[in-house]
Structure 1
Amino acid sequence: TAASYVFSFLLQIFSIVVFGSIVNECYVNKGSDDPELLCIFNENESACSYGIAIGIIAFFGCIFFFVVDLYFQQISSVKDRKRAVLLDLGFSGFLSFLWFVAFCFLANQWQRTKMSKGVSQGADAARAAITFSFFSIIVWVVLAVKALQRYRLGTDMSLFATDQFAADPSAAYPGYPTGSGIESTETYQSPPFTETLDTNPKGYQVPAY
């Protein structure tokens, strides 16, 4: 849908901002005479590496599922469609969790960071990475909810199709069961009033005059 394409585009931008900001401006020199570059987040290399890794994974994941959405209507197999929706649901939920961890990790390390001249130069980039990590959580959760709704809708339609309709479309409708109100030709074995009347019934004699 159009909304999914918009969300996918936003997530690509968010992921680029996060890992681009960390790569370009979140590695600073500890001192003017020290050429070694350190991670701006409390000099914790794991924080920068984690932010970069999640940003790259999210970027390529968005591209992959964007292509899947484009060709989803061309998937003829119901099982393949179900697998695609389940994969989308699982990936969106997993990325929501990873972005939540990234936001908490980066924010915690930034609070512990001691301000210096080098840190001040990359402070805006660090704040941008933290902010867009938080935005990514919201959008990925929305995509996970939409994927769950899509899966439930598809499951309901599949159940309706299999339960309400016959498996063979050429199969004839079942006939009426016997005894359902249609009168049989053998209901009356003999026509009524067929008994012969005896003109001289027994026990009755014509009187003689």
Structure 2
Amino acid sequence: MEAAAAYGAGRAGGAFDPVTFIKQPQTIVRAVSWLFSIVVFGSIINEGYMNRPTEVEQHCIFNRNPNACNYGITIGVLAFIGCMAFLALDAYFPQISSVKDRKKVVLGDIGFSAFWSFLWFVGFCFLTNQWQVTDLEKDDPLKEGADAARAAITFSFFSIFTWAAQAFLGYQRYRLGADSALFSQEYTDPSQDTSAPYGPYLSGDEMEAPGSYQQPLSTGSYTSASEGYQTQDY
């Protein structure tokens, strides 16, 4: 019963319950990941690009490396979109009647979450390294963006675990479906089914015993039982 509910089979076509949906661990973790992604790309966009009084062009606060800021913004925005998409799929999930479609959604959730957990790990290491080598002089105006840089690094670190948690919860949901044999509904050839109450299907050649074919009688020796006479050869 628990496995059926995990894949929506038990509640297919039922009314959407927002309270139950919000209380689900999967929903809570996605919402937290969604919030963390906003902090990361929002901090970099707002205060991640600064310049000194003698400069006109603004530079990335992470060691003036534009790749660091671009990486943080990119994975943050895509994580934001991914959370929204999977939250919508979670809400619609009980209405999916096809077992194959439910399986695709769960596997997609596992793959995307695990991959994004890895990208957050790379981002955390990248941003931390660039921040450590950033040269900030005393009373440097670039220090105004230090809090934003630290926030982006900190929530990149937290995002590693929230996205790993999403992958773990997705894997648990997949195992529930696999254990309930919802994913093993395959066609079985009746001829290979030993438990069937009937024998295997036989073709026309197999049904006719070897050597049972007889040549037709010649017309000369034909005897009519109904007329009572025998034809003669001429």
TM above 0.5, yes or no, is yes
Distance 1:7 1:115 in 2: 36
Distance 1:20 1:118 in 2: 20
Aligned with residue 120 of structure 1, among 136, 143, 163: 143
Q: Structure 1 residue 145 and structure 2 residue 202: aligned?
A: no
Aligned to 1:41, the other structure's residue is in SS state coil
Cα RMSD of the aligned pairs, angstroms, is 2.0
Corresponding letter in the other structure for 1:19: F
Q: Structure 1 residue 134 and structure 2 residue 157: aligned?
A: yes
Corresponding letter in the other structure for 2:84: I
What is the CA-CA distance between 1:103 and the residue it aligns to?
Answer: 0.2
Q: Structure 1 residue 99 and structure 2 residue 120: aligned?
A: yes
Can you list the C-alpha shifts for 1:90-129, whole angstroms capped at 9, x where unaligned? Answer: 0000100100000000000000001131321000000000
Corresponding letter in the other structure for 2:154: T
Can you list the C-alpha shifts for 1:70-90, whole angstroms capped at 9, x where unaligned? Answer: 010100000000000000000
Could you tell me which residue of structure 2 aligns to residue 195 of structure 1? none
Corresponding letter in the other structure for 2:80: F
TM-score, with length taken from structure 1: 0.75
TM-score, with length taken from structure 2: 0.67
Q: Structure 1 residue 15 and structure 2 residue 34: aligned?
A: no
Off by >3 Å, runs of 4+ in structure 1: 159-163
User: Which residues of 2 match residues 40-59 of structure 1 at below 5 A?
Assistant: 40-59=61-80
Could you tell me which residue of structure 1 aligns to residue 230 of structure 2? none
Aligned to 2:63, the other structure's residue is in SS state coil
Larger radius of gyration: 1
The count of residues paired between Structure 1 and Structure 2 equals: 166
Aligned to 2:70, the other structure's residue is in SS state helix
Please list every run of 5 or more consecutive structure 1 residues that lacks an aligned counterpart in the other structure. Answer: 167-172, 176-209
Could you tell me which residue of structure 1 aligns to residue 5 of structure 2? none
